[in-house]
Structure formats: structure tokens, C-alpha cells
Amino acid sequence: MASGRRVRTVEFSRDRVNVFFHILTACNLSCRHCYINPKEHGTQTLPIETIRTWMDLFSRRKSSANIIFLGGEPTLHPDLAFAVRHARRTGYQSVTIDTNGFLFHDILDRITPDDVDAISFSLDGAQAQTNDALRGEGSFAAVMRGIRQSVSRGFGTSVIFTASTANIQELSKMPALLHTLGVHRFFIQVVGLRGNSASGKVTAQAGAATWLDCVPKVAAEAADLGLTVTYPKVYLDPNEPFECAGRVADNVFIFPNGRVYRCPLCEDYPLHSLEIVDNRLQERPGITERELFELDIPEGCVMNRLIQPGNIRYGADGKPLHRIACCMLKREIVA
Ligand code: SF4
Ligand code: SF4
């Protein structure tokens, strides 16, 4: 490993709230692995007044808060620029837009690099054939154009690659491509078996051997090229402690119908522990994700055990070979 590179596990923290804000669920694409589920998440586009009010509910809770604007495709929202500036004004420590690259409403003309910390582009292949098979015809060309515009205008620019059996073979080609494009950060994600992927028919998680052989190595190669890389741990080492972010961190995933989840793996179910009603945040009574967070099982993450047990392998003694980490546990390599 090259000297000077810092590799760390990103610790969960209660002192910082990470707000993942889905301001609408509409999208111009129909990705095969899309996790948006309109039946559970609604189809509304939130008016800007509501976006501001809901943002304030969370910026006031902690001295340090990060916000990520999501959709659907958030740049389809005509008032995204106002929302971004409101986040800055009201003290969010970092502001990110996650986009599929189409950059509607000329968003880059309406904000400046000082308004956002990063624009994060979803790109699921190093070539059009692979990416477009997952994300739709023409999406590779659009995201390339968007990344180039973002970099050339001085925006912090990152790329999110959602790895599955459909594209993990191409992950090793990503570092060189991103370096050439001038991208600053590289996020590798594991496909979550939610939304379209829940059937397991369209995309599936790569197995443990493939993941462990491939992902840390590619992450190190990207860091060698000067990128900061983040990837999920997924499989815990034998003596590594298991922690559920629902117990020890403060992440919220807000949907336009007012549901607020603490765990993204619960998002296909009405298990949200919080909800926004009449612009007030309240705890939901009864059985919610909260009760699941308290369970200790040998397999690690309880929700993973319930909805995607296929990624757990057991030894001859009946014990899991790897406990599955919280989906929010990340490794980061800073070049
Ligand atoms: S994954 Fe994102 S870009 Fe793709 S269809 Fe879903 S919301 Fe749209
Ligand atoms: S993914 Fe698993 S470990 Fe993480 S918050 Fe959800 S239930 Fe807890």
C-alpha cells in the first residue's frame, strides 16, 4: 500500500446528523436496480416551502448536519437551487446533490461551487454498453457530459458506482476513467435488494469472494490516482465488532410522503420510526424499525437477514462465515 494514504473505517457518530432528503420521486430514467418504491414513498414533488421547513427540522437538531438531495432525480425539481442555498444559509455543514447526470433546469447555471460541496453522479459502468443496460439508453453519454461540465466549472465532483453481478466485472476500469475525467471522489455502493432489485431477478449482489477480491483492490488503485474512495464494508472480519447505525448514529432518510426512516434497508416496508405530520417530526408508535435495531443475531444486520439472506454463508458448524455489516458502515481511503 502506498505510503501517505490514509485508510479508515468511517465511525458512526451521534453528534452529526446525515439527512438524505428525497425531495421528489419522479425520474426521467427507469434503472433496473432503482430502489424508489412509489407505493411506499409516494409520488409527490414537495413544494419549496415544505422542503425548507423540513430541512429546518433537522438542521436545528445537531450542531453538525450534512444534507444530500436525492430523488427520483432531484434536478427535475424546479426549485432545487433555492433548496441548496437554504441549506447553506441555515448551517448545514455539507451539501450534496446526487444526480443521474441529466442536470435538468440548468442547475449548474443556477448554483455556484460555493453553494455545494459535491455533485455526485451515478455511473454504473466504464462503457456505455454496461451502464446503459442498467440505467437506460443514452444515460452514459448524458452522465459523461454532466461530469465534464461539473468539473470544468469547478464543482466538487464525485461518482457513485452501484456494484452488482451485472457490472462488478467492470469496476476495475473505473479508476482510470474517473482520473481522466478529473473526478475528486469515488463512492462504490453495493446494490440494495430494494425496489426493482427486490425480486433478485434483475440485479443481484456479488458474492463474498468476488466482493472481497475486487472492491478493496480497485479502491486502492483509485486512491493511487489521487481519488478519495469510499466503499461499504459488507462482510465483517472475524473479530470486527458489529454495530447497527440505527442504535449508534443519526441518519435520516426522508421521503415526500413524510416517512422518515433510520435504516435504508427498511424502505420497502412501512417500518419507518419517524414521520413528519403537519410539518412536525414525530416518533411512530408500535412496531417499527426501532425494535429491529435492538436484536442481536450471529449474522450481524437483522434487516439483511430478513430481506437478503442469500449473502450469508454458513460453515459446517452452522455459524456464519462472515457477519454482515450495517449497510452504512464504510471504509474510506484518502489519497
Ligand atoms: S436509480 Fe435514480 S436515476 Fe435510476 S430510475 Fe431510480 S431514481 Fe432514477
Ligand atoms: S442496515 Fe442493518 S445494521 Fe444498519 S441500521 Fe439497518 S438494521 Fe441496523
**Average pLDDT value for the chain:** 93
Residue for cell digits 438531495?
69
What is the Cα–Cα distance from 218 to 195, expressed in whole angstroms? Answer: 28
Whole-number pLDDT of residue 200: 54
Q: How far from 94 is each of 66, 117, 298, CA to CA, in Å?
A: 5, 6, 36
Whole-number pLDDT of residue 60: 74
- The cell for 11 is 465511525
Q: Residue 94 forms beta bridges with which residues?
A: 66
Q: Measured in angstroms, how far is the CA atom of residue 4 from the centroid of ligand 2?
A: 32
| Half-sphere CA count of 300, side-chain side, radius 13 A | 30
- Looking at residue 326, the DSSP 8-state letter turns out to be P
More confident residue, 199 or 325: 325
1 pLDDT more than 80: no
**Which of the four pLDDT bands, split at 50, 70 and 90, describes residue 7?**
confident
For β-strands 330-334 and 64-70, DSSP reports them as unpaired
Whole-number pLDDT of residue 62: 72
Question: Residue 35 CA: which ligand is closest?
Answer: 1
- Best mutation site among 190, 271, 304, 329 for ligand 2 pocket (most ligand atoms within 8 Å of CB): 304
Encode pLDDT of 34-91 as tens digits: 989 999 999 999 999 999 999 999 987 777 899 999 999 999 999 999 999 999 999 8
**Which of the four pLDDT bands, split at 50, 70 and 90, describes residue 190?**
very high
What is the Cα–Cα distance from 243 to 72, expressed in whole angstroms? Answer: 30
Mean local confidence (pLDDT), 271-279: 98
What is the Cα–Cα distance from 112 to 177, expressed in whole angstroms? Answer: 25
Q: Is the CB of 134 under 6 A from ligand 1?
A: no
Residue type, 83: A
Q: Is the CB of 244 under 6 A from ligand 2?
A: yes
Encode pLDDT of 137-165 as tens digits: 999 999 999 999 999 999 999 999 999 99
Q: Measured in angstroms, how far is the CA atom of residue 236 from the centroid of ligand 2?
A: 14
What is the Cα–Cα distance from 46 to 121, expressed in whole angstroms? Answer: 22
Q: Where are the domains of the chain?
A: 6-241+325-334
Whole-number pLDDT of residue 197: 56
- Looking at residue 235, the DSSP 8-state letter turns out to be B
Whole-number pLDDT of residue 245: 97
Distant-in-sequence contacts of 219-222, Cβ < 8 A, 24+ apart: 219/186, 219/188, 219/331, 219/333, 220/1, 220/5, 220/333, 221/172, 221/175, 222/174, 222/175, 222/178, 222/179, 222/186, 222/333
Whole-number pLDDT of residue 64: 86
Q: Is the CB of 119 under 6 A from ligand 2?
A: no
How far is Cα of residue 138 from the mean position of the Cα atoms in its chain? 23
Whole-number pLDDT of residue 199: 55
Whole-number pLDDT of residue 4: 67
Q: Is the CB of 70 under 6 A from ligand 1?
A: no
- The cell for 8 is 479508515
User: Where are the alpha helices (H) located in the chain, listed in sequence order?
Assistant: 38-41, 48-59, 80-89, 107-110, 128-135, 139-152, 174-181, 208-224, 245-248, 289-293, 302-307
How far is Cα of residue 229 from the mean position of the Cα atoms in its chain? 14
111 pLDDT more than 80: yes
Whole-number pLDDT of residue 320: 92
% the chain with pLDDT above 90: 82
Encode pLDDT of 208-262 as tens digits: 899 999 999 999 999 999 999 999 999 998 888 999 999 999 999 999 999 999 9
CA angle 74, 17, 89 (to 5 degrees): 60
Question: Residue 162 CA: which ligand is closest?
Answer: 1
- Nearest Cα residue to atom 7 of ligand 1: 72
CATH class held by domain 6-241+325-334 = alpha beta
- Best mutation site among 24, 69, 100, 121 for ligand 1 pocket (most ligand atoms within 8 Å of CB): 100
Q: Is the CB of 301 under 6 A from ligand 2?
A: yes
Whole-number pLDDT of residue 78: 98
What is the Cα–Cα distance from 325 to 335, expressed in whole angstroms? Answer: 25
Q: Measured in angstroms, how far is the CA atom of residue 72 from the centroid of ligand 1?
A: 6
For 266, the enclosing helix (H) or strand (E) is none
- Best mutation site among 21, 27, 203 for ligand 1 pocket (most ligand atoms within 8 Å of CB): 27
Residue for cell digits 407505493?
39
